[in-house]
């Protein structure tokens, strides 16, 4: 009987994680409208949270990346409050900027991985992979990473799936040799 086997230890309850919900309303280019692949970002107004990418991307690379984005039809703004902002590019959901933009409700919160995939496919599409969305975990807080306590084996990955393997290793905070 489960009721008779109660332990004397108190239940430990963890406080609920702060969640931010935002509605996913995506407006894509009309399928019947012929948008040249060279202008796949036409109509997008993008704000890039450079502070989150500055540790992994040099200023020169960020500048070249910004040029490539504008060459494909997007506008890059430095104004986080731009009235027509369509995309907020960030790596993590933990910043005040993310919370501020999230409250607006009409801005797509995506990562540089999504933008890279759009430029690679040369077609605007709805984010469809976990890496297309900002992470709720900061890499500088290894104890909070979801896979930090687990061991797992990953073999046989090639090409793009090898990249996903590296993303998993980032979540686990382990140095996985490739």
Q: Which residue has the higher pLDDT, 168 or 89?
A: 89
pLDDT in tens, 113-162: 999 999 999 999 999 888 899 988 776 776 777 767 777 666 776 776 66
Residue ranges matching CATH 3.40.50.10190 in the chain: 36-136
137-157 per-residue burial string, b: 16 or more CB within 10 A, e: under 16 = beeeeeeebeeeeeeeeeeee
**Band of pLDDT at residue 54, cut at 50, 70 and 90:** confident
**pLDDT score for 176:** 47
**Helix-strand-coil split of the chain, %, nearest 5:** 35, 10, 60
Distance CA 41, CA 116 (A): 11
Q: Is 136 buried (19+), middle (13-18) or exposed (0-12) by CB count in 10 A?
A: middle
pLDDT tens-digit readout, 58-108: 889 889 989 999 999 999 999 999 999 999 999 888 889 999 999 988 899
- Token pair of 123 as six digits: 């077609």
What's the confidence (pLDDT) of residue 173?
52
Q: What is the CATH number of domain 36-136?
A: 3.40.50.10190
- Average pLDDT rounded to a whole number, residues 17-24: 49
Between 123 and 18, whose confidence is greater? 123
pLDDT of 14 over the 90 cut: no
Mean pLDDT of 13-37: 55
């Amino acid at each position: 009987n489960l009721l008779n086997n109660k332990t004397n230890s108190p239940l430990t309850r963890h406080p609920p994680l702060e969640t931010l919900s935002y509605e996913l309303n995506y407006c894509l280019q009309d399928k019947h409208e012929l948008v040249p692949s060279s202008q796949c970002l036409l109509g997008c107004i993008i704000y890039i949270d450079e502070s989150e990418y500055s540790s992994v991307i040099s200023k020169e690379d960020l500048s070249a990346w910004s040029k490539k984005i504008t060459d494909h039809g997007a506008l890059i703004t430095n104004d986080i409050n731009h009235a027509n902002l369509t995309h907020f590019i960030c790596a993590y959901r933990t910043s005040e900027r993310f919370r501020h933009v999230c409250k607006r409700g009409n801005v797509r919160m995506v990562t540089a991985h999504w933008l890279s995939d759009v430029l690679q496919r040369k077609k605007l599409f709805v984010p469809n992979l976990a890496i297309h969305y900002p992470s709720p975990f900061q890499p500088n807080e290894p104890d909070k990473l979801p896979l930090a306590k687990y061991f797992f084996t990953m073999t046989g990955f090639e090409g793009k799936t090898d990249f996903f393997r590296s993303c998993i290793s980032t979540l686990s905070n382990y140095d996985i040799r490739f």
